Amino acid sequence: MRHQVLTLDSADQDMSRLLGIPLNAPVGCLARSLKTTEGALLYSGLVTYRGDMVQLEMPF
C-alpha cells in the first residue's frame, strides 16, 4: 500500500537556511509511506521542497 500527503506550508528558520530561501517563503512538505499487503512498513519519508519546485498534476 502506497500513501502520500502533500502539505503546503511556510519556511521556518531552519528550513529557510537549509533551502536557501527567505523566512516564511512557501514550501511543500511531502510525507510518504510504503507498506506490504500485510501492513509491514517498508519505507517512510518526509521531504521538504522549495515552493518554486512544487508542481501538482492530477487527472480530473
pLDDT band for position 38 (50/70/90)? very high
Q: What is the average per-residue pLDDT within 45-56?
A: 96
As a whole number of angstroms, the distance between CA 43 and CA 36 comes to 10
**Cα atoms in the Cβ-side hemisphere of radius 13 Å centred on 41:** 5
Residues 6+ apart with CB under 8 A from 52: none
Let me know: does 4 contact 31? Beta carbons within 8 Å.
Answer: yes
Instruction: Tell me what the pLDDT averaged over the chain comes to.
Output: 96
Which residues lie across from 16 on neighbouring strands?
Answer: none
pLDDT of amino acid 39: 95
pLDDT of amino acid 19: 97
Q: What is the average per-residue pLDDT within 15-43?
A: 97
